[in-house]
Each structure stands twice: as C-alpha cells, then as structure tokens.
Amino acid sequence: MTSAIPLEEAERLARQQTTPPPPVEDGPPWEAEAPSAPRLLPTLRYVDIEASIGTADFVEGLLIDGGLSLAFGASNSGKTFLVTDMGLHVALGWPWHGREVEAGGVLYVAGEGGSGIKNRIAAFRSHHGAAAAGEMVPFAVVPATIDLCDPTADTGALIATIRAMTEAFGMPVRLVIVDTVSRAMAGGDENASGDMGALVRNLDRVREETGVHILLVHHSGKDTARGARGHSLLRAAVDTEIEVSRDEEAGVSVAKVTKQRDLPVAGELSFRLEVVELGTNRRGKKVTSCVVVAADTVPTRKPASLSPGQKLALDQLKNSLADHGQTYRDNRDIPPVPVVVAKTWREQLKRAGVTDRDNPENERKQFRRHVEALMSKGFIRMLDDLVWLAGQSGTERDNGTSVRAGTGTDRDTLSGGCPVRPVPPRPAVGPVPVSEEPSDWELA
C-alpha cells in the first residue's frame, strides 16, 4: 500500500502544476502560446506535371546528381579499385569506360584506412602521366573512420567538410564515396532495420543539405547469389546498384548494373587490374598497387549443373510461376517478371513429392537446401517472401515434356515431368513490404 502524502506537500505539488512560469524580465506577462498551424507539404498539381526527360546523370547512364548508389562484391573482386577509378575520372572530367562524364569535386571517405587509397591514387597518377598530375584536381580523401549511424556523431562533420571542399575546389562536390558501409555504421548491426534505417536517414540528410551523390562500397554476403550483405532496406533505398564479381582463372572482373530507379537497368563492363610499381620500402622490397584497365572480353561462365532433385524443384517453381505468378511493375527492387510467394512453391513441391509431405522437419530442411542451391547457382532470386527466375522474361507450365523460361539456355529447358495438382491462386497484394522477420523458407 502506498503511504499518504502530507497535506502541505500535496498543496505544494498542486501549485507547481497550476502556477505559470514567471514573466521574463522586462518582457510581456506569460501567456500560453497558440498552437501553430501545421506546415503544408509540397505539391504538384496535375496540370503542372510534365514529362521528366532531363535526368542529370553525371556519369552517363549510371549515376545521377544527388542520388544514392551501392557498389558491392566479394573481397578481392576489384570493387574498391573500380570506384576509385570512377571517382578520379569524375574529378578529371574524363570519359569512363565509354560513358560521358561531367566533372565535379570528389570526396573519398576511406574508412578502412588511408594507405590503400593513397597507393591507388599514386598508381593512377603514375599510369596516366602528366594528364593526371595537376595540383588542382578536385579530389580529396578523408583518411578516417566516421560514424554515419548515430545522427549526433559525424553526419554534421561530413556536411561541413563537403562545404569546405566545395570552397577549396572552386566547384561543387559532386560525388562522395563512402568505403565501406560496415565502417560507416561504426559497430551498428547491418542486419537490423533500425541501424540500417538510421544510416540511410543520415545519408539522406547529407544529400539533401549538399546535393552530392553518395556512392557506398559494400561487401557481398556469405551467399553471393543473395546480393549485398545486410538488411534489404539498403537495397530498397539506393537508386543504383552495381555488382562486382571476379573470374580468378581469367583474371578479369565484371561490374554489372543490377538496379536503377530512374535510368535503364543496363550496362556491364569488364576490367582487369594492372600492377604499377610505386617504389621500395625500408626493407628494399617493391611496393605496388593496381590501376583499372578495360578488358578485351567478358569471361564466359559455364552453366552450373543441377542434381536431379534440384531440377525437379526448379521445374515446380516454373509451374508455380506459370499458374500463380504476378508481375510487380511498380516495385524497383523486383524485375518486371513473374514472381510467386515462396510458400506457394513450397506447397507445390510437397504435392509433387519433391519434398517430404509427411515429415515437416524433413520437408523444411529439404526446401531450404533446394532454395540455397538454386540461389547459389544463379537460377533463382528472392526478396523477402517472393521468388522468381534469375534473368528470365516469362514462364510456361511444365506439361511433362517442356518448359519455357525465356532465353533458350540449358537451364531454361529443364523438364521434370512430375504431375502436380493446382495450387490456390495467390490473392492480389500491394507493394512488397520490407521486413526484418525471417521468411517462411528461412525458419531455423
């Protein structure tokens, strides 16, 4: 039981609650402020809306002014060399791999240390000679880790630095490269929507206050078929996504555009890294770095082979897509191809006898193995609970003799010949939600 408050104390507390604060010295008596009217949001009337045909792509067909982009790949794929090379071409106003470039200042945030970026720039300067040796090249490096996850940490400092470099360059900073996402999160959880959302909000603030384009450098996950590491919120937020992979046998890397919000999703370039000798260290050993050089050919990849069970699983996915697939033309994170809920495919696999319909635990493990195998071999893609065929434009139902999936390659003509029963059609849904909850197929 709570003890009673003495009368005197109760009266004192009541006076505190009802007595207005004293008037400001030499000012008007205290008065309650009238509530302010809510601000109005910017609007465009129907009659004033015209076609937007002047996209400000300062790297032709690739990066737009004020945008947010992501370049990701596995370690040693060459992604950091590629973005450094792009940044230096922007600063110099040089064409880049056949694309026109509009010059602008560049700020490189080297969160993973300053020595690597210094050597890459020195190698670029040595390789290109006098043309890249000018003192007035508007390119600068921040050789330090910054925290862009906590809004009270370094976001304001980055904005102030961009403004200072704009003045020093004598031209606006057009591109800021943040290397890497992990370092910029300063210990934040890449897989948590809260931390990733905080990073995106702070990046948006930087872009809104300075007008720069921010290019993030990121790593692939353990399963490279599933794209960049971390929460899918990041991919949803970026305007441009570039995947960098490397063929070790050929010694060639490939950069492929995998997402564009306002530009066509097109473009693939192959490059190799050419070694440049920079000098010798204190032990007399050579110090080298690399420069990006266009490769003559794109390495060809042999189609991955599938086990009989994986072939059957893929065929049943094609059946599910033909029967229940829907196309999301208003969602930039999903290509305009038929997609289906993973649960629908999962049920079809059970009905076709591809997975164990009588033992839920076995069925769950079998389905997960099929998903992971088909994703890692590049046959399917997933986002949250939706699944589709990788690189396809359409599907037809498997009638036991043939399956069409769009391109005519071996992987598109696999047939299972397994009879299936109809699966109830999926009800119409709206835009795909971004969720941090595991999808059905990810159950532990």
pLDDT, tens digit (0-9, with 9 covering 90-100), for 122-160: 999 999 987 777 778 999 999 999 999 999 999 999 999
Distance of CA 258 to the CA centre of its chain: 10
- The predicted pLDDT at position 434 comes to 36
Please give the domain boundaries of the chain with CATH numbers for all domains: 57-294 (3.40.50.300), 308-442 (no CATH)
- Give the whole-angstrom CA distance, residue 150 versus residue 166: 25
- The predicted pLDDT at position 25 comes to 56
Q: Which residues of 59-87 are buried (b: 16+ CB within 10 A; e: fewer)?
A: bbbbbbbebbbbbbbbeebbbbbbbbbbb
Mean pLDDT in each 10-residue stretch from start to end of the chain (444 residues)? Answer: 56 55 55 76 93 87 96 93 97 94 97 84 91 85 94 95 96 96 92 94 97 95 74 92 90 92 86 94 93 79 79 90 82 78 92 90 91 85 85 42 33 31 37 38 40
Q: What is the dihedral of CA 335, 234, 219, 271, to 10 degrees?
A: 50
- The predicted pLDDT at position 221 comes to 74
3-state secondary structure of 226: helix
Length of the chain: 444
- The predicted pLDDT at position 43 comes to 95
- Give the whole-angstrom CA distance, residue 107 versus residue 126: 21
pTM: 0.65
- Give the whole-angstrom CA distance, residue 150 versus residue 144: 16
- The predicted pLDDT at position 15 comes to 57
